[in-house]
Amino acid sequence: MANPSGRETRFIFGFHAVRSRLRNDPEGVVEIHVAAQRNDGRARDLVALAETQNVRVIPTDTGRLDGMAGGAVHQGVVARVDARHKVLQLDDILDTLEGPALLLVLDGVTDPHNLGACLRAADAAGAQAVIAPKDRSASLNATAIKVASGAADTVPYVTVTNLSRALRQMQDAGVWIIGAAGEAEQDLYAVDQTGPVAWVLGAEGDGLRRLTRDTCDVLARIPMYGSVDSLNVSVASGICLFEAARQRRA
């Protein structure tokens, strides 16, 4: 959509997502709509932050907020932001890495809730980027941004045309590719992750595609001690990335 200035805009919603955008890209925030009836501390803090960034805050009725958020849970805050994202290429990530690479690759993750949660886990573990194929992947929409709780503004989400080719490009750059697979012989604790690594995870139930699996340098499993035999991809991502972080701290 476009506003009167001709600027292409879209909506994001939720306190974490809006506050993160205000802190990381205030110039990209056109205006913020806050539920007219909200006057609690959380809302006042957001309004105060917006004022320091010279961003207009508009008291808005809940029905209009519901329409802006497409019926999603918006917590009483919706922001109109610049729709243009800087399009990052894999080269941009590999050329600007500081320290050993820690990357998360998602193969066939199509749920925006899962994408948002994976971005959040990647941020928490210190990963430099999340990478996914352009097809059969969730888009970075308002739902994913809200679930990411600010991580969508701190962790680049890079989409590639050919995932296998991108994995080989990472290998050429010295990154060790570890695929998560339940049937792998060794578990993730036995894999050395102190150097540059990229964890590759597929969607729960589907796992990695064959060509993706064949391109990995090694496969590793998460040990399961209970009755379930699989984990949500965002949970699995957190386990894998934090094991890499643990090994590096050790």
202 annotated as belonging to a binding site for a ligand: yes
| Separation between Cα atoms, residue 84 and residue 165, nearest integer Å | 27
Q: CA-to-CA distance for 213 and 60, rounded, in angstroms?
A: 50
Cβ atoms of residues 81 and 10 within 8 Å = yes
Whether 93 has a binding-site annotation, put simply, is: no
Instruction: Give the whole-angstrom CA distance, residue 29 versus residue 12.
Output: 10
Chain Cα centroid distance, residue 78:
20
Amino acid at 125: A
> What's the distance, Cα to Cα, between the start and end of the chain in Å?
49
Cβ atoms < 10 Å from Cβ of 8: 10
3-state secondary structure of 115: helix
Cα dihedral 96, 173, 211, 189 in deg (nearest 10): -90
What 3-state DSSP class applies to 30? strand
**Amino acid occupying residue 199:** W
Beta-bridge partner residues of 133: 160
Residue 103 bridge partners (DSSP): 129, 198
The answer to whether 14 is a known ligand-binding residue is: no
> How many CB atoms neighbour CB 196 within 10 A?
18
Which residues are registered as beta bridge partners of 177? Answer: 198
| Residues making up the binding site | 202, 222, 231
| Residues making up the binding site for S-adenosyl-L-methionine | 202, 222, 231
